[in-house]
Amino acid sequence: MLSTVLLSVLALTVTSVQAIWPIPDSISTGNSTLWIGEVLLVTYNKEKIPWIRGYIPAKFTSQEIVKGGVSRVATNILDKNFVPWKLYPRLQLEKTEPALWKPKTYVSWLEIIQTEPDTPKTYKPLAGEVDESYNLTVTVKGKATISAVSSTGVLRGLETFSQLFYKHSQGPIYSSLAPVKICDSPVFPHRGVLLDVSRTYLPVENIYRTIDAMSWNKMNRLHIHATDSQSWPLEIPSLPELHQKGAYSQGMTYSPATVAAIQTYAIQRGVEVIFEIDTPGHFGIAALSHPDLITGWGATPWSTYCAEPPCGQLRLNESKVDPFLDKLMADILPRVAPYSSYFHTGGDEVNFNEYNLDPTVRTNDSEVIVPLLQKFIDTHHARVRKAGLTPMVWEEIPASYNVTIGKDVVVQSWLGDAAIESLTAQGHKVISSNYNYWYLDCGRGAWLNFAPGDSFADNYPFGSWCDPYKNWRLIYTYDPRAGLSDEAAELVLGGEVAAWSEAIDEANLDTILWPRASAAGEVLWSGSVDAAGENRTQVDAAPRLAEFRERLLARGVGAEAVQMTYCTQGMDGNVCLFQ
């Protein structure tokens, strides 16, 4: 009998310390049980709001955003929860979960207090313009309180509140963590996922599901790489021929209504969408509708002219390019500006050899090409700024091509820590997608085919260009600010994990992203060190990530396993420690 009691207390204590992902700034919990059900008083700044499922905000107001968040939390707590048998020691679930026959104390009131009014920037902020911090308390008598400066902070607190609860093996929902006191805020203002919807079209429900999972991880930027040389799925009403000739198939496009719906769905969950139309490279598909604007389409051997087939870049000295881009941007930018403060103009992997084929350039000499690139970027970024948006570029624009960019431009770095050090030394604001750590498509084998002969032998056993596979443990080790001075570190706004879709589609998207992106999510929200200055370790993270993965599954996201059940039962990261 005594051993059973001790086991129960141990299970509750271990679980209570490790319940939340990403881990908050500070958290204290107890071991008193509370239940939660269909009846709950919810107030927002003293006004009642419904504890119901399925509420969709009608507009972008603080109360509507919060009402939507409360409704989704109600669904996740009451309907999409999980029985935590994988977290308890072997065969101990029924002995350690709370007894149904005992008197129950229910969470009776969820009080939400927003201390400052939202502004239009709350829903489409530049990095650092919205306060996402929150405080959460839950008493043993069933009173829960969330206080935050902004509605976005309320959403973060609601997500944490939802992670306090589990499903009983007999059905009811409970938490054995009361009393709870949490104070929390993010370390980085930009915490993102890049989805490539051009190499492989992703149905919109997959994008919605990714946004949901991001919000549960407290990630706040979805970067949609919308077009590339392989396909043009983005409908541009003023230039319909782009998608009519460039989409993979009829219906594999994103209409203006769909683009607006994606952005609205994201804002309701505290996520800002950043669209990218890559220029001047990665633009080959436009040759199907505008051949006079493109150089290198169909060029062979492709490896001489581009990073992957098919090749194709905008011509750099063609008089028709500027009117085309004027028309393109005049169409898309006003449809983005109400929902985002950024637009990504690309700029990566511009192959100078391709300009040997450009009848308006006819050379790969950088002394000729770089001034043309400078003029191109100056003109293109002026379009973005005119629409009230801040440009983003890939790092090659300033770092490889020596093109001068404005101080407002955010540079996305993917080539490693040395590049970040150099960019910040020049005063650039940076987000990191270091391919050595945060490229989720890497390490899964080559997607190209190799005919018998030298290429077969040279590339055997057909690994990817960026091996190894970036498992969650490797992802968790990466700190985008590591090794930088304090001044340089301030310029690193955060980062994005990238899912380039040469071999990713709707069938494997979830397992590619989750829970590996969750590991980056915790690094970006919580930082790589704890409040005592100690480095966070995978030994501490593994049990919490295994638990969070169960929540992802319960909520409909097909996240891959963290460890076998032997390692997760008992929530002790030392059980499967290498020796």
The per-residue pLDDT for range 410-442, each reduced to its tens digit, is 999 999 999 999 999 999 999 999 999 999 999
Give CA separation, 575 vs 20, 237, 538, 579, in Å: 20, 58, 13, 11
Angle, helix 204-216 to helix 516-526, in steps of 10 degrees: 40
* Calpha distance 55→73 (Å, rounded): 11
DSSP state of 319: T
Q: Determine phi and psi for 295, rounding to 5 degrees.
A: -115, 145
pLDDT at 18: 52
CB 182 within 8 A of CB 160: yes
| Rg for the chain, CA atoms, rounded | 25
Give CA separation, 215 vs 273, 496, 524, in Å: 12, 14, 13
Is residue 544's pLDDT more than 50?
Answer: yes
pLDDT band at 534 (very low <50, low <70, confident <90, very high): confident
CB 340 within 8 A of CB 274: yes
Mind listing the pLDDT tens digit for each residue in 348-361?
999 999 999 999 99
Q: Determine phi and psi for 254, rounding to 5 degrees.
A: -115, 110
pLDDT at 559: 98
Residue 160 token pair: 């944490």
> In the predicted model, what is the mean pLDDT of residues 165-184?
96
* Calpha distance 523→535 (Å, rounded): 11
CB 447 within 8 A of CB 504: no
DSSP state of 444: S
* Calpha distance 434→449 (Å, rounded): 26
Is residue 102's pLDDT more than 50?
Answer: yes
Is residue 193's pLDDT more than 50?
Answer: yes
Q: Three-state secondary structure along 411-437?
A: EEECCCHHHHHHHHHCCCEEEECCHHH
Active site residues: 349
Mind listing the pLDDT tens digit for each residue in 20-46?
999 999 999 999 999 999 999 999 999
pLDDT at 251: 95
> Dihedral of CA 314/316/322/325: which sign?
positive
In the chain, what percentage of residues exceed pLDDT 70?
Answer: 97
Is residue 9's pLDDT more than 70?
Answer: no
> In the predicted model, what is the mean pLDDT of residues 230-238?
98
Q: Would you call 204 exposed, middle or buried from its count of C-beta atoms within 10 A (0-12, 13-18, 19+)?
A: middle
Mind listing the pLDDT tens digit for each residue in 315-325?
999 999 999 99
Cβ neighbours of residue 342 closer than 8 Å, sequence gap 6 or more: 126, 272, 274, 389, 390, 391, 392, 410
DSSP state of 550: H
What is the secondary structure of 68-117 as a DSSP string? HHHHHHHHHHHTS----TTTSSTT-HHHHSPPTTS---B--EEEEEE-S-
DSSP state of 529: B
pLDDT at 2: 38
Cβ neighbours of residue 423 closer than 8 Å, sequence gap 6 or more: 395, 398, 399, 411, 413, 430, 491
pLDDT at 6: 40
Give CA separation, 179 vs 136, 139, 266, 570, in Å: 11, 5, 32, 22
pLDDT at 225: 98
- Bridge partners for 295 per DSSP: 313
* Calpha distance 182→29 (Å, rounded): 9
Taking every pair of C-alpha atoms in the chain, what is the biggest distance, in angstroms? 86
Instruction: State the chain's mean pLDDT as an integer.
Output: 95
Instruction: Rounding to the nearest 10 degrees, give the CA dihedral for residues 318, 323, 324, 326.
Output: 130
Tokens 């509605």 — which residue? 151
Is residue 14's pLDDT more than 70?
Answer: no
In the chain, what percentage of residues exceed pLDDT 90?
Answer: 93
CB 345 within 8 A of CB 384: yes
